[in-house]
Chains A and B, each alone.
Chain A
Amino acid sequence: MLPVERVIGEEGLAATPDGLRLAMRLPWYRSLPFSTVSVAALAIDGQAVDLSGARVEYDGQSWPLAAQGEQVDTFWFVRDSAFLVLPDQEASPGAEREVALTINVSPPYIPGMTRTNPQTATLRVA
């Protein structure tokens, strides 16, 4: 990653009626179609999170994470956070969680290249 890049978004982790909501940033210098970006792994407090029921929320739209590969014409603006909603996860506001998130990027103009971007942070649940 570039020195300033990050995959855990500034908005952090929040408890919502739909489950935990984690902010994600795109670790690249320009916007990319969501189909070229994947959530490769997520662990909370050292436990791998099952992502089969997860959803992605971005700019008023929402889709199952499992269908992200089909989002070829929805662009993730490089300054914006997208949000990963985890229906099976809960936590109380104020609690601390260690979040380890890995996002893979396959730039659509560089065939065969995939860059792995891991980041770990301790977040206070909002």
Chain B
Amino acid sequence: MATATGPQMGVTLYSFTNEWLTRQFELPTLLAEVARRGLGPNIEIIGFQNFKEFPDVSDDFAAKFKDMVAEVGLNPVSCAINSDRFLKPGQQPIDDAALVEYHKRQLRSAKKMGFSLVRYQFALPVHLLPEIAPYAEELGIRMGVEVHAPMWAGHPAVQAYAEMYDKLNTPVLGWIPDFGGTASRIPESMLDAARRTGAAESLLDKLKDVWLEGGMSHEKAGRLREWGLAHGHAPLHIQAACLAFFILSNEDPKSWAQLVDRTIHIHGKFYGVSEDLVEEAIDYATILPLFRDGGFTGTIVSEWEGHAYDTRDAFVQVERHQAMCRKILAA
């Protein structure tokens, strides 16, 4: 079991995207199921996935939500917010003032519902942080930017944020590592999903090679597409294979050590944990001790993203992921 002095385990409702989109649960029944299976108490919710009133949640709904989580004994830790700048496709993004206000609306809603932090995105230009951070301080809510593939500790965007963090020197700003940026391999279950669409082994072998090469996700996808078309692979098969470039990259798992000090929350990204508690693609045994030994005491939320290509039981996957993390943390 997690203790008060080490990382806590929790879950993001994003793991249950398939169950949510297919209307198998309403919000109260989904929360109850998470609680019944002991996957909390700490939870993360994507504002724009589970709250119809987002980004402007009413006092009435906020009160109902607080009752809902209290009733089943869950603790709303993190609310994921979004930097939606391109509201008219193909046109200019919204101006800075509108984007700052868009973040403030979401911060107010998260605070009102009782969340202690928000997940925000690098799509927020770094020069706007000095306008938003004081508002978060005033509200009393922390903000963690999600370091998600293709970002990692050594990425220039992360370094630019780190410089601004140093300059602003406020406890409300931090990191939310997402382990998909330091995957050791492409998950076999993702390759199997591409095989089910009819993708040939030669295409998947090429995918594995290109995935290890340098470059931005869309460049690598372009490279595989060009090679695939030249070698007679169907566009649909190439599209299925290209998913890997957009959700996973293979930076050094040990690189997270650079971000431990300002880490306020963690996305325990995973694709498939076996019965003997091994994750397919991400090397948890290397990563988790960095945070435990570095003094991280926040929450690691289990984030199953296999739903992007698979319909396995998400609850079973989350249970195994939490068991795996607890075993590694206790070692």
Interface set of A (CB-CB < 8 Å, partner B): 2-5, 10, 29-33, 35-36, 38, 69, 72, 75, 77-80, 106, 108-111, 114
Residues of B within 8 A of A5 (CB): 21
Residues of A within 8 A of B84 (CB): 33, 108-109
Contact A4 B48 (CB under 8 A): no
**Taking the complex as formed, is B310 at the interface, i.e. its CB lies under 8 A from any CB of chain A?**
yes
Number of interface residues of B (CB under 8 A): 30
Contact B21 A111 (CB under 8 A): no
| Other 15 A-B pairs with CB < 8 A, given A30-B48, A77-B52, A79-B20 | A2-B17, A2-B18, A2-B308, A2-B309, A3-B307, A10-B23, A29-B14, A31-B49, A33-B84, A36-B86, A75-B54, A78-B21, A108-B84, A109-B84, A111-B85
**Beyond A2-B307, A29-B49, is A72–B21 a contact (Cβ under 8 Å)?**
no
Most buried by A among B20, B86, B90, B309: B86
**Taking the complex as formed, is B294 at the interface, i.e. its CB lies under 8 A from any CB of chain A?**
no
Question: How near does chain A come to B282, taking the closest CB pair, in angstroms?
Answer: 20
Interface set of B (CB-CB < 8 Å, partner A): 14, 17-18, 20-23, 46, 48-49, 52, 54-55, 82-90, 93, 121, 123, 307-311
Residues of A within 8 A of B307 (CB): 2-4
Residues of A within 8 A of B48 (CB): 30-32, 75, 78
Question: How near does chain B come to A63, taking the closest CB pair, in angstroms?
Answer: 15
**Beyond A31-B54, A79-B23, is A3–B310 a contact (Cβ under 8 Å)?**
yes
**Beyond A30-B48, A31-B49, A75-B48, is A108–B54 a contact (Cβ under 8 Å)?**
no
Across the interface, B88 reaches (CB within 8 A) one of A2, A3, A32, A35, namely: A35
Contact B85 A108 (CB under 8 A): yes
Give the distance in Å from the alpha carbon of A29 to the alpha carbon of B307 in the complex.
10
Question: How near does chain B come to A114, taking the closest CB pair, in angstroms?
Answer: 7
19 example contacts (A-B, Cβ-Cβ < 8 A) are as follows A2-B307, A3-B18, A3-B310, A4-B21, A5-B21, A29-B49, A31-B49, A36-B86, A69-B88, A69-B89, A75-B48, A77-B52, A78-B21, A80-B52, A109-B85, A109-B86, A110-B86, A111-B85, A114-B89
